[in-house]
A and B are shown apart, each in its own frame.
Chain A
Amino acid sequence: AQSVTQLDSHVSVSEGTPVLLRCNYSSSYSPSLFWYVQHPNKGLQLLLKYTSAATLVKGINGFEAEFKKSETSFHLTKPSAHMSDAAEYFCVVTVSGGYNKLIFGAGTRLAVHP
């Protein structure tokens, strides 16, 4: 069965420093993987997605993620954090077999300090 584990429930960084949000997945098939962001009192927004093309995926707002099959990881990074990046981030894997059921990780809350 597919599953996704976000290794940190909370991450705190200073503005201008790098961001790393960790995600490991489990899948019997080649997965599709996503990162979604949820700002306070706002809806979920897609940051980026991996669908078996390039392993380094670039998303919005300067975020990127690298699919590493050998490590079953899909960590989200950003070179320099901005105050507006403070939000909840979800790593998501799809169920295989032509069935787009989304499996969400528990989420990582990112805090950015001045």
Chain B
Amino acid sequence: GAGVSQSPSNKVTEKGKDVELRCDPISGHTALYWYRQSLGQGLEFLIYFQGNSAPDKSGLPSDRFSAERTGGSVSTLTIQRTQQEDSAVYLCASSPHRGPPGAEAFFGQGTRLTVV
């Protein structure tokens, strides 16, 4: 597609339920990132995929969070047993290059998750 696509754009879920957030990166981009933006806060790094390398999961806040990237393309972020503090906008970005000089990351519109 023309840009990074995320779905759903909005998700309201009950506390304790599992949710899946999807990201379709720009075709051919080898790097994919997930970030979280809580209300009034900056972006919090969650996880980074680069090609076939093992992902950097160092930003995942708990073991309730996991992510996969199938076939080096689409990625799914899963949050199990959601809590109210998980409410945030989840942003996905993709980038065409591996390393410096820094390549621009293209961001999706995000998924706004509300846990009630």
Q: Interface of A with B (CB < 8 Å)?
A: 30, 32-34, 36, 42-46, 49, 51-53, 90, 94, 96-107
B105 CB-CB contact with A under 8 Å: yes
Cα separation A105 to B41 with both chains bound (whole Å): 10
A43 touches B109 (CB 8 A): yes
Q: Closest CB-CB distance, A33 to chain B, in whole Å?
A: 8
Question: Distance (Å) between the CB of A98 and the closest chain B CB?
Answer: 3
A sample of 7 cross-chain residue pairs with beta-carbon separation below 8 angstroms, ordered by A number, consists of A32-B100, A36-B107, A43-B91, A46-B104, A49-B102, A52-B100, A96-B100
Q: Give the chain A neighbours of B103 by CB distance below 8 A.
A: 100
Check B76 for interface membership: any CB of A closer than 8 A. Answer: no
Q: Chain A nearest CB: distance from B1 CB in Å?
A: 14
Contact status of A94 and B102, CB under 8 A, knowing A43-B107, A104-B35: yes
Query: Is B20 an interface position by the 8 A CB rule?
Result: no
Per-position 1/0 for B58-100, Cβ under 8 A of A:
0000000000000000000000000000000001010101111
Total of A-B residue pairs, C-beta within 8 Å: 71
- Whose C-beta in chain A lies nearest to the C-beta of B102? A32
Complex Cα–Cα for A43 and B108 (A): 6
Whether A97 and B107, one on each chain, are in contact in the complex, defined by CB atoms closer than 8 angstroms, is: no
Q: How large is the interface on B (under 10, 10 to 19, 20 to 34, 35 or more residues)?
A: 20 to 34
Report chain A residues within 8 Å CB of B48.
99-101
| C-alpha gap A32/B99 in the complex (Å) | 10
Contacts A43-B109, A102-B33; A32 near B101 (Cβ below 8 A): yes
Shortest Cβ distance from B108 into A: residue: A43
On whether A103 and B45 interact (CB within 8 A), knowing A32-B100, A51-B101, A98-B100, the answer reads yes
Closest to A105 in B: B42
**B100 / chain A contacts, CB cutoff of 8 Å:** 30, 32, 51-52, 94, 96, 98, 100
Query: What residues of B have a CB within 8 angstroms of the CB of A94 in the complex?
Result: 100, 102
Q: A46-B104, A99-B48 are in contact. List 4 more A-B contacts (CB 8 A).
A: A36-B107, A43-B107, A94-B102, A107-B41
